[in-house]
Structure 1
Amino acid sequence: MTSSSSSTSKAAETAKTATTALTQPASETSPAVSSFLHHPYTRVALPFLNGGLAGMAATTCIQPIDMVKVRLQLAGEGGKSAGPRATPISVTREIIAAGKFMDLYTGLSAGLLRQAVYTTARLGFFDTFMGALTTRAEQKGEKIGFAGRATAGLSAGGLAALIGNPADLALIRMQSDGLKAKEARANYTSVIDALRRISRSEGVYALWKGASPTVVRAMALNFGQLAFFSEAKSQLKTRTDWGLRTQTLAASALAGFFASFFSLPFDFVKTRLQKQTRAPDGSLPYKGMGHCFGTVAKEEGLLRFYRGFGTYYVRIAPHA
């Protein structure tokens, strides 16, 4: 009887242990995994790694949308458009008709490299800055506010954009290459090929062409995306009884809208500056960010900066 009770007790204990192992994270059941995940260096690296992988996954999904967005921004450049105004549907049809469906994924290697560098850095920096600001606020017996989140978002976006500009430039060059006459196309085979040929023909510093609007665009994007996401999620948590997933999706939708609104004009100028190449006489269509804003406003109208807002929002929202 005693032996039977002992066996039953051991079986129950074994079953409980197995259930715990299946339901709890590995970090809570495995000392080795827990030690690795909670190591100071790992804690610092994880936000960067998670951010980069998330950005690369999102880019793989929305690359065709990004391709259409870039073509919309370049359509009718100089106010000399012929025929009806370009729309997301007409641009998509044109790309597919001119080649094949996979042409919508042109520049994917550059997009992935950009996310590996830019998104890894911006989300990692944002998490790091937020951690530092939160610690400082707690020491003062306060809670971090919207201003702190905005500061962290602006700083993280600007620094990351400067680091990732070469990959961003390569992405725009690859996506706009199909707009040129066949004999004038560069026909880049990969992001590495694009970076190598651009630096060889135009100089290494050319890889940072359009860096100013890229940095401003990233700061505006992060201000709208990260600051508003963090603020919206905080407000939804205290003001609603929604589930965590619903709160996250709602906060992402709001953050995506504000990120698109604040950053689209700068994204437009960035695309125009990074696409341009020197004419035979050495001149460029735009001398800089200010000149591009002025020229486009004069020749194409102020609303040109927001054309394709819906496409841009759909492109931004998955990243949020």
Structure 2
Amino acid sequence: MSTSNSIKQAAEAARGKTTEAMEATKAFADSAKADPIAVKNDFLHTPFMRAALPFINGGAAGMVATTVIQPIDMIKVRLQLAGEGVKTGPKPSPLSVTREIIAAGKVMDLYTGLSAGLLRQAVYTTARLGFFDTFMKKLTVRAKEKGTQIGFAERAAAGLSAGGLAAMIGNPADLALIRMQSDGLKPLAERKNYTSVIHALQSIAKSEGVGALWAGAAPTVVRAMALNFGQLAFFSEAKQRLKDTNMSSRAQTLSASAIAGFFASFFSLPFDFVKTRLQKQSRRADRTLPYKGMGDCFRKVAADEGILRFYRGFSTYYVRIAPHAMVTLIVADYLGFITK
């Protein structure tokens, strides 16, 4: 009898729990229908999503910008590789390089390496902007606790740290991009004819070893730190300075992006130049490489081609960096706004 009563009580308790669960589910569904934005915001404000959103927004913004800027990046790389080891001779211009690429193939050749560029942004910019945003939030909290404001030194430190960390993670994709863009400069018999970024990565790892995927990592990291220092630190600083002007919010963002793009270009171009040379190089017949490392490349280029060679194509580089910075920062700002 007691066993029968126990079973009955358990059944009634289970029925009660089921009814409560059904009522809770119905209430959630009704609230979702009544206010879907609130449900979305609940999801966006979970601890995991709050930590992940800066990285997601950064990656999405970088990929949009790369799709727009890829042809300019292709021209920039070809300009940096032209006349290697020669101080005199013809000086290519962005227009002549563009004509040469189109004459040799078709207009879409300007998008060579887009898959590698997108992968690089998915890895590098995701980490770069994500780390920077995370660092800035922690610095903001610390500054508030001390009753102070974040200074330029803190912004610079956050930009340098975020850039260096992200560059190490994204170096293989960056290497694949350079190899794909420079492949067309080789004689037909020596071309790898990469079909995608995955094919390029597999081919490099198979023929040169997995460690080769981090070729040029040193200048890549220094370049990223210099670029981030110029882009993120000066963007943040410029926005802060323009805040009290009568410019609209959009005009402030555009102006700050243009300023950040100039400083990012100025500080990072020499390292970008060396990075391109190191990542493009391949072993000669005697198994030696043209450059032993970043310092050797700087020394040889300065001696053989002149100091100003490091700034060849500055206008093209700025046109590549500034719009990329503007699109990336504007999209990231917008995504950050709608996911607050």
Q: Output the TM-score relative to the length of structure 2.
A: 0.84
Q: CA deviation at 1:85?
A: 0.9
Counterpart in 1 of 2:336?
A: none
Provide the residue aligned with 1:208 in structure 2: 214
Conservation of the 8 A alpha-carbon contact between 1:236 and 1:247 = yes
The reply on whether 1:316 has 2:321 as its aligned counterpart is yes
Superposed counterparts of 1:1-320, under 5 Å: 30-79=37-86, 82=89, 84-238=90-244, 240-320=245-325
| Paired residue type of 1:67 | M
Q: Secondary structure at the match of 1:281?
A: coil
The sequence identity of aligned pairs, in percent, is: 76
Q: What stretches of structure 1 move > 3 A for 4+ residues in a row?
A: none
- Supply the AA of the counterpart residue of 2:228: N
* Contact 2:87–2:306 under 8 Å retained in 1: no
Larger radius of gyration: 2
**What is the CA distance between 1:301 and its match in structure 2?**
0.5
Structure 1: unaligned runs, 5 residues or longer? 1-27
Aligned residues: 292
Distance in 1 between the 2:236 and 2:159 partners? Answer: 10
RMSD: 1.2
The whole-number CA distance in structure 1 between the counterparts of 2:53 and 2:125 is 13
Look up the match of 1:11.
none
1:80 Cα deviation (Å)? 6.3
The residue type paired with residue 65 of structure 1 is I
Amino acid at match of 1:289: M
- Give the CA deviation at 1:81: 6.1
Give the match's secondary structure for 1:78.
Answer: coil
Distance 1:100 1:81 in 2: 30
After superposition, give the CA deviation of every residue in 1:277-309 in whole Å (9 maximum; x if it has no partner).
Answer: 001211000000000000000011100000101
Inter-partner Cα distance in structure 1 for 2:61 and 2:128: 12
In structure 2, C-alpha distance between the alignment counterparts of 1:319 and 1:125, rounded to whole Å: 19
- Quote the offset at 1:35 in angstroms: 0.5
* Deviation digits for residues 58-98 of structure 1 (CA, Å, limit 9, x no counterpart): 1011100000000000000001665x310000000000001
Q: Is the deviation greater in 32-41 or in 268-277?
A: 32-41
Checking the alignment, whether the CA contact within 8 Å between 2:69 and 2:324 is kept in structure 1 is no
Show CA shifts across 1:112-147 (max 9, x none): 000000000000000000001111111000001101
TM-score with structure 1 setting the length: 0.90
* Contiguous gaps of at least 5 residues in structure 2: 1-34, 326-340
Deviations 1:186-236 (A, max 9, x none): 000000000001000000000000000000000000000000000000000
The structure whose RCO (Cα within 8 Å, separation 6+) is larger is: 2
- Opposite residue 140 of structure 1, the aligned amino acid is K
